[in-house]
Amino acid sequence: MPFFKNTIHSSVLLFFLLVLASAKCSGQDFKPMPQPEKFVAAYRAQVEQQTTLKADYVQLRHLTFMKDPSQSTGVFFAAGQSKIRWEQVQPKSHILLMNEGTAYVIADGKTETYDLEKNRQFRTINEMMTRVMSGDISDNTDFEVTFLESDKEVKVILVPTRKMMKKFIGSIELIVDKSSYLLNRMTMTEADGNATELIFSNQKANIPLEMSIFEPTK
């Protein structure tokens, strides 16, 4: 399951973030972006037009004590800013739902429920995802933000400033397509040096989605 694999009951630490496009390995050279405010405004405008989103993803889990990363695949769904579904398909079925302030972890026929307001890690993750999905990637004090660009992509590097976040997040790197303003890739590096990389493909925005998929019974 995306990120959240090494904390609360093997299903809760990484994730987030975010929320989605046709991904290719990026070998581009990035340089400082002279006017990031224009990109942020365009990105926010694009995000505001999105009502739903579906994307396939590949997750690569990089551990400091392992030579090669572990790999899993699945499907990501989102509706608005408050409904998220990460559905891992391979190598094992896991589902993480975030719905109106409640998180659900579904695995091995069991469902665990977490109140986002009472669980700091889930709340922090949910807040960050909401900001990314709402286009709020620069107008807050929770992160020190750096913008870089190549011919086709924008790299956004977020370094947490809040003490709580620093305990488990070292940095977050977003690679955004310049033409579609969709997320190609996201890498979250933890405080201990381990990292999770998410690569998105087959994105479909503003398509009909059954709202029942965001409920733990579906």
Residue 2 lies in a domain: no
pLDDT the model gives residue 152: 92
d(CA 111, CA 11): 11
CATH code of the domain containing 75: 2.50.20.10
Residue 139 lies in a domain: yes
d(CA 158, CA 173): 6
pLDDT the model gives residue 12: 41
Residue 101 lies in a domain: yes
Residue 1 lies in a domain: no
This prediction's pTM: 0.75
Residue pLDDT tens, the chain, 218 long:
444 444 333 334 444 433 333 333 445 689 999 999 998 888 888 888 888 889 999 999 888 888 888 899 999 998 887 888 999 999 989 999 988 888 899 998 899 998 877 766 666 666 666 666 556 666 667 788 899 999 999 999 989 888 877 888 898 898 988 888 888 888 888 888 888 888 999 988 899 999 999 998 75
pLDDT the model gives residue 89: 93
Residue 3 lies in a domain: no
Residue 104 lies in a domain: yes
Residue 39 lies in a domain: yes
Which phi and psi angles does 40 have, rounded to 5°? -60, -40
Residue 66 lies in a domain: yes
Range of the domain at 144: 8-214
pLDDT the model gives residue 130: 61
Number of domains within the chain: 1
Q: Which residues are within 8 A (CB) of 184 and not within 5 positions of it... i.e. 6 or more apart? A: 21, 22, 23, 24, 26, 153, 175, 176, 177, 199, 200
Q: Which two tokens stand for residue 117?
A: 């307001």
